Structure 1
């Protein structure tokens, strides 16, 4: 074989093995150092168009394909003609030129039907490429269910005839669409099936895409640490592949995750970088995502000038593209900016936009939930200004709708925020016990899903409310004004705070001072006690009875085992893990205390052997001793180093 033909085959193998940058360098060297024959130049141009697409140079790939489509050798080769047409469809899709995409898809389907030389397997293969992109167009235009139907039908056709790589492509896209429609369980099921195939194929670009999509699902589920791990794996592979288009998406997802955790400065670094790459590529759909997330982050950072600049850029994207999802993102971003203003007329404008999105078709579940949350927040502001308690009747069903939708979507960030808002409404209604129930629910959602900045905020509000319990109990009736109710509670009634308040919220105002730790049978008898303060003196039997009664009360009141009570300067946190009741007494803010107790109990529960022995000791004589006690103490001292040895 001719050495040049060998080199072309080698470059083709590099592309197949996803070594795109190496393939690109080899193509450049080949064209500058070798005189190619007509046939070799044709193969070279096809490879160049393919590599350009794979590394995100879509405009360059379009020009290469256009130069090839009129060449007789291409026109007389159905496989090459359809392959180039599919490549062109993907190029236009990545650039957001959907009308051209759809025209080419219809042309491609017609050509596949016309060519008698195509085998059934070839027909399915090339149709699948076009249908996957067609589903992507429907998804981006807000028709996720239609897109999902297309791919499920395709999968039924493919599953017995498609190659593993082709099947993985469809499985992944089905997983993405299930995630988009809110069925995260099915999303993970299909993504897992795709991952099993891709790991066998060792196909790194597909693996990078899958890791990104796993991260996306887990971010929505509130598994932030796992989501970040997936995103970082994806980013590493995308850097290696050199595909800037996909790299920008992953970087933006990392920024969005940091935003959701309240790490706004850290988020900004990633979000700005993704926008810079997105501008170079020019896909309006992705640009709208990057701009939306960056605007929300800058609102939190109180960078109004930057928000204005990004909104102006966003508006131009909308004017040049007739896409309802892009428009809805812009409307919501604009409404959130208006809401951040101190001017009432702008807040009223924002309220109308929130209402329109919340009651309109669900194009993106996150956007609908965000609109509902902010609609409720502005109604609460209206209630505080007008003092019309009947507004509560308007807010309550909206909040219930938000909680229902967020619960079905496993949107724990929204659930935490919604229950915090319900707690504020309960305070206005002077139902303090119910407010504490909502605050406990809100904090549990936030703590269980690594939403630390939300959890800290909620915990501090709960502490403030608890500090005023004697005042609430002394009030004779509900005749006091709304302003007095809010003032007594000490709770901040603005859902979105100024940046200086946000910064303070990121860290607890003070750490707790440990006083005592008690491990007891949930029926009453103490198993283990540790005093951190020598002057904290109590009768074991009497104190055990008090804790047992408090636990029963909390179970009845909160329907949860993890809550707090306050006695003078002491706060007590109780946690039940049957048959054990844990009690931690401390002075100070609750958040760090809750995290520490929760961490200790998690570690204890993961040591299945130790936990089984503790359970057996409880059943036998309520005493820890010997090796069981020593192993327990080692773990206890790691979590509570202030303890005496």
Structure 2
């Protein structure tokens, strides 16, 4: 190969490592019209161009070139080049959400490496580590977290052995993502920060941006909203500098979610719509589906239930097309919650049946949990089919409520798989117990609700979730007020206020401050009178309305107080 061609390939490879993908493509474009002195050099050119096109998300063109390389290198016995080609095609299928196809491609590369393991060269070890890394990504995306963790630790061991520092940074980041998915947020944060130490600030801007965004996501989940925004903005700046459209789109999405947590729903939608425009340009269905789902959740919070349903339904169709059962199950549960709020029980029933079929076809703990929670919610919200009232119909309603309570109690007291689902189950169980308290008025029911708030507090502390801790202190403060313990109520509400103000929950802080104002100066008479019944105090505290707003994830939208039936707009 001539010096001009060799220099062009070296320059393009360097630009690829520096994540300057468009510049790399421009450098090798002239080579399309030239001939190569050897097959090896030609295949290197094809594979390099395929990798650049992959990074630019031109997947179809990249796959065509990759398949050419695989065909000729396997035929001509260039095993390591064939492995590199399989890695590229597998990564493309992962990005496209075709996980089974990605695993199929990786397995072909794995077969080649197994036949070369006796050589134990640096190059072979490096490719083996790359195979493990990509396998972990694919299994993680399928929800097989322990399997993914196993492959990442095997990958890490090899990379340490061959001192592949740049790759070590990405693997540590990958471990952080697994622990994030497992809900071990502090452990995830530790791995992300370890990964940053291995990434060169000049050469790896795009990769550093990726880690910044992950760190921001952890702070967002913990409820440290201002820190989350700081890291997202750092990540967004780097993504824009290197021309990473996918990274930019994902970061805009994440910023939108932070403003949602802050209660700034219009601003959240603004960022999410910007993200959606970029994602549609890229054409990746999984990423589009994720943003549509989030937009639907915000429309639900705003009470625009038809808009919410339409957005989440589009998301479901995309996830079904991709074939990811974990994402599909999450979307089905969201649709069940929306349709129940719309009082469309027939549609909710069909969606629950669909979720049940998915559970039977996929032995996955998270899908099983979502189905059981969906069943509990459906039973809890079941209404009479006609307007008549009879002993039998009343018995059936009570039976379903009892079944719902049993399912919710099982979910609440079992091992936490997804703390968001567990907390949603707790709020729904508290709502049923409040109805029981209004009927029976017994202190035992109040004690069970108090124990459930202790469970919420424990989950919040274990998950380092400041959002959950704030809402739990708010709920506990109102429970203390119900039991006429004014000092305890003030202390708990002040705890909630402190976290909300420190962590950036601005609108939630307003709600809590308004709650505290009720206890300033002269204490309300109903708190002092001994003959005020528990039911009368329950009405004064508006505990049921608070629990409903917590269950609907709308508590920050009601600064002036809570009602049992929160208003919804069917637009």
Q: Aligning the two structures, in what range does the TM-score lie when normalised by the shorter sequence?
A: 0.7 to 0.9
Aligned pairs for 1:136-151 (under 5 A) are: 136-151=137-152
Which residue matches 1:23?
A: 24
**Aligned pairs (5 A) from 1:202-241:** 202-241=203-242
Q: Paired residue for 1:349, among 351, 354, 378? A: 378
Q: Indicate the residue corresponding to 2:370 in structure 1.
A: none
Relative contact order (alpha carbons < 8 A, sep ≥ 6): 1 or 2 greater?
A: 2
3-state DSSP of counterpart to 1:333: helix
The CA distance in 1 between the partners of 2:49 and 2:122, in whole Å, is: 26
Render the CA deviation track for 1:504-543: whole Å, top value 9, x for unaligned.
Answer: 749xxxxxxxxxxxxxxxxxxxxxxxxxxxxxxxxxxxxx
Equivalent residues of 1:124, 1:162 under 8 A apart = no
TM-score normalised by L of structure 2 = 0.77
- Counterparts of 1:149-548 in structure 2, within 5 Å, are 149-199=150-200, 202-279=203-280, 281=282, 285-320=286-321, 322-338=323-339, 340-341=341-342, 348-349=377-378, 351=380, 355=408, 362-365=416-419, 367-372=420-425, 374-376=427-429, 378-379=431-432, 382-383=435-436, 386=439, 389=442, 391-466=445-520, 469-477=523-531, 479-487=532-540, 493=546, 495-496=548-549, 505=559
Deviation at 1:431, TM superposition (A): 3.8
Q: What secondary structure, in the 3-state scheme, does the structure 1 residue paired with 2:162 have?
A: coil
The 2-side partners of 1:342 and 1:396 are apart by 30
Distance (Å, rounded) in 2 between the aligned partners of 1:500 and 1:144: 31
Equivalent in the alignment of 1:80: 81
- Within 2, Cα distance between the matches of 1:265 and 1:487? 32
Q: Is contact 2:412-2:426 (8 Å) kept?
A: no
Q: Distance in 2 between matches of 1:344 and 1:29?
A: 62
Unaligned runs of 5+ in 2: 349-375, 381-403, 561-571
CA contact (8 A) 1:464 1:491 kept: no
- Say if 1:403 and 1:415, in contact at 8 Å, map to a contact too: yes
Which structure dedicates a bigger proportion of its chain to strand?
A: 1
Q: Is the 8 A contact 1:138 1:147 kept in 2?
A: yes
Report SS of the residue matched to 2:549. coil
Determine the structure 2 residue equivalent to 1:124.
Answer: 125
CA distance in 2, matches of 1:328, 1:468: 51
DSSP 3-state at the match of 1:199: coil
Q: Secondary structure at the match of 1:249?
A: helix
Corresponding residue for 2:372?
Answer: none
Is the contact between residue 166 and residue 198 of structure 2 (CA under 8 Å) also seen in structure 1? yes
CA contact (8 A) 1:439 1:462 kept: yes
Task: Kindly state the Cα deviation for residue 481 of structure 1 after the two structures are TM-superposed.
Answer: 5.0
Displacement of 1:391 in angstroms is 4.5
Contact 2:431/2:548 (8 A) holds in 1: no
- Which stretches of structure 1, 4 residues or longer, exceed 6 Å deviation after superposition? 342-347, 488-491, 497-501
2:14 equivalent in structure 1: 13
Residues in 2 aligned to 1:466 and 1:392: alpha-carbon distance in whole angstroms: 26
**Mean Cα displacement is larger for which, 483-492 or 314-323?**
483-492
Give the structure 1 partner of residue 569 of structure 2. Answer: none
C-alpha RMSD of matched pairs (Å): 3.5
Cα distance in 2 for partners of 1:55, 1:377 equals 49
Deviation at 1:60, TM superposition (A): 3.2
- Give SS of 2:504's match: coil
Give, in whole Å, the separation in 2 of the partners of 1:58 and 1:123.
26
Contact 2:309–2:339 (8 Å) recurs in 1: no
Aligned partners of 2:209 and 2:239 also within 8 Å: yes
Instruction: Return the offset for 1:211.
Output: 0.9
Distance, in Å, in 2 between the alignment partners of 1:311 and 1:494 is 25
User: Which TM-score applies when normalising by structure 1?
Assistant: 0.69
Cα gap change, 1:499 to 1:79, in 2 (>3 Å): closer
- The verdict on how the C-alpha distance between 1:290 and 1:489 changes in structure 2, with shifts beyond 3 A counting, is closer
CA-to-partner distance for each residue in 1:346-385, whole Å, 9 max, x for gaps?
Answer: 89528559948757775544x3255235424633663576
Q: What is the CA distance between 1:116 and its match in structure 2?
A: 6.1
Structure with greater helix percent: 2
Supply the distance in 1 between the matched residues of 2:245 and 2:460 (Cα, whole angstroms): 33
Deviations 1:89-136 (A, max 9, x none): 111111111111222222222211113685432232112212122222
Alpha-carbon distance between aligned partners in 1 of 2:8 and 2:496, rounded to the nearest angstrom: 62
- Aligned 8 A contact 1:75 1:81 in 2: no
CA distance in 1, matches of 2:413, 2:541: 35
Q: Structure 2 vs 1, CA of residues 439 and 336 (structure 1 numbering), >3 Å: closer, same or farther?
A: farther
Report the secondary structure of 2:157's partner residue. Answer: helix
Aligned-residue offset at 1:269: 1.5
Deviation at 1:330, TM superposition (A): 1.5
SS in 2 for 1:469: coil
- Report the equivalent of 2:390: none
Is the radius of gyration larger for structure 1 or structure 2?
A: 1
1:286–1:181 distance in 2 versus 1, CA, 3 Å: same
Contact 1:291–1:310 (8 Å) recurs in 2? yes
Contact 1:428 1:482 in 2 (8 A): no
Q: CA deviation at 1:229?
A: 1.5
CA distance, structure 2, for counterparts of residue 281 and residue 373 of structure 1: 40
Bigger drift between 454-463 and 39-48 goes to 39-48
Return the offset for 1:81. Answer: 0.9
Instruction: Say which is worse superposed, 112-121 or 47-56, in terms of deviation.
Output: 112-121
Q: Which moved more, 1:159-168 or 1:437-446?
A: 437-446
Q: Greater CA deviation, 142-151 or 156-165?
A: 142-151
* SS state at 1:476 partner: coil
Q: Is the 8 A contact 1:208 1:234 kept in 2?
A: yes
In structure 2, the partner of 1:56 is 57
Alpha-carbon offset, residue 73 of structure 1: 7.8
Contact 1:222 1:412 in 2 (8 A): yes
Distance 1:157 1:2 in 2: 35
d(CA) in 2 for partners of 1:35 and 1:417? 66
Offset from partner CA, 1:378-407 (integer Å, 9 cap, x none):
336635764655543553443322221221
Using the alignment, how far apart are the partners of 2:478 and 2:436 within structure 1? 12
